[in-house]
Amino acid sequence: MSDPKRHHYLPEFYQKPWMGDDNKVTVYRRRYAGKLDIQRKARKAVGWETELYSDLSEQEPGRRQRVERVFLKKVDDLASQALAEMLETGAPPVDKKRASAWARFLMSLLHRHPARIAALRQMVELKLDEIVASVRDDYPRLKGEDDPNTFEEYIAQSSNKLQDGALANLMPMIIDSKNVGNALMRMTWGVGILKRTRFKFVTSDRPLMTTNGLGLRESFLIVPISPYAYFIAATRAETIHTFRDANADDVVAGINHAVCLQAEHFVLSHNEGQTRFIENRLGGSHHHPIRRDQRGQIYWENPHTFDPWAK
């Protein structure tokens, strides 16, 4: 059984299509003075942090690891089925349950990254005073037999527990957002398969290429799902046609460009055939400067030119 404290923010099932005959993937990282480090690694050794989603306010292992071992495990198990179906059929999942699981997995990729968890923790810290104020007057009624006599004593002993518990509850709520999930499910979905291209898709710890928001006319989301395929969701089918009708090598270059620039820590490939391309872009460079939002995300413009007079 895998270590329950090793939490993968880039799940092993998603990495699998990039795996070689040695059962490893090629991992690119920036090391000392920006120097590129390239290693072949097993999937279990890539894209994880210790207790990233743990509820540190809990001591009992089942409660402490519930986000990783219950919520995200369910998300990933069903999404792995959807991914296998797409790679086999070259089309989006037909089964509604697997489609819903794939949408939830895509949202998880936005929110389970360590940088996003750090941002959520900051948000909880800023809101903690409001949470504390909301229960201060009710403390005499709410406190248990073993709790301190005064609210001030309770806060002094429990503020970190309150923060950790709130964070563990917040993450599943964000990933499971009905508004975002429904917006994604309403979009048109497609799968693009590469044939006879010079290069293949890479991926990274931030693999989603998105516009700013999912509910707009020009909204789209793209994620590589293997060296030979990508998934796309768009508000308008014309966006999907634009990618499908474009030169395949240009599509690979454009998506890989985005995936490499967005990378926080690493880019993952099936081999070392695109080392120079990755080195010039991984996490941004003086050749390719980047600007991120507070979530560390970069937003991309829709390449499809819309008719401004269309209703």
> Domain spans of the chain?
6-114+177-279, 117-175
pLDDT value for 174: 84
- Residue 241 burial by Cβ neighbours in a 10 Å radius (0-12, 13-18, 19+): middle
Where do the H-state alpha helices sit in the chain? 12-15, 61-64, 66, 73-89, 96-111, 114-136, 139-142, 151-175, 178-186, 237-245, 248-262, 275-279
pLDDT of res. 307: 42
Rounded CA separation 202/260 (Å): 8
Q: Are strands 209-210 and 220-226 parallel, antiparallel or unpaired?
A: antiparallel
pLDDT at position 217, please? 87
Report the candidate in 14, 8, 6, 13 with the shortest Cα–Cα distance to residue 208.
Answer: 14
The tokens of 13 are what? 């099932």
What pLDDT score was predicted for residue 139?
Answer: 63
> How remote is the C-alpha of 258 from its chain's centroid?
14
16/191 Cα distance (integer angstroms): 18
pLDDT score for 309: 34
pLDDT of residue 306: 46
Q: How crowded is residue 305: how many other Cβ atoms within 10 Å of its Cβ?
A: 8
Residues 6+ apart with CB under 8 A from 216: 235
The pLDDT, as a whole number, for residue 311 is 35
Alpha helices in 176-221, H assignment, sequence order: 178-186
Report pLDDT digits (tens) over 167-185: 777 788 888 888 888 999 9
Residues of the chain below pLDDT 50: 1, 306-311
Supply the pLDDT for residue 241. Answer: 93
250, 196, 261, 189: which is closest to 225 by C-alpha? 189
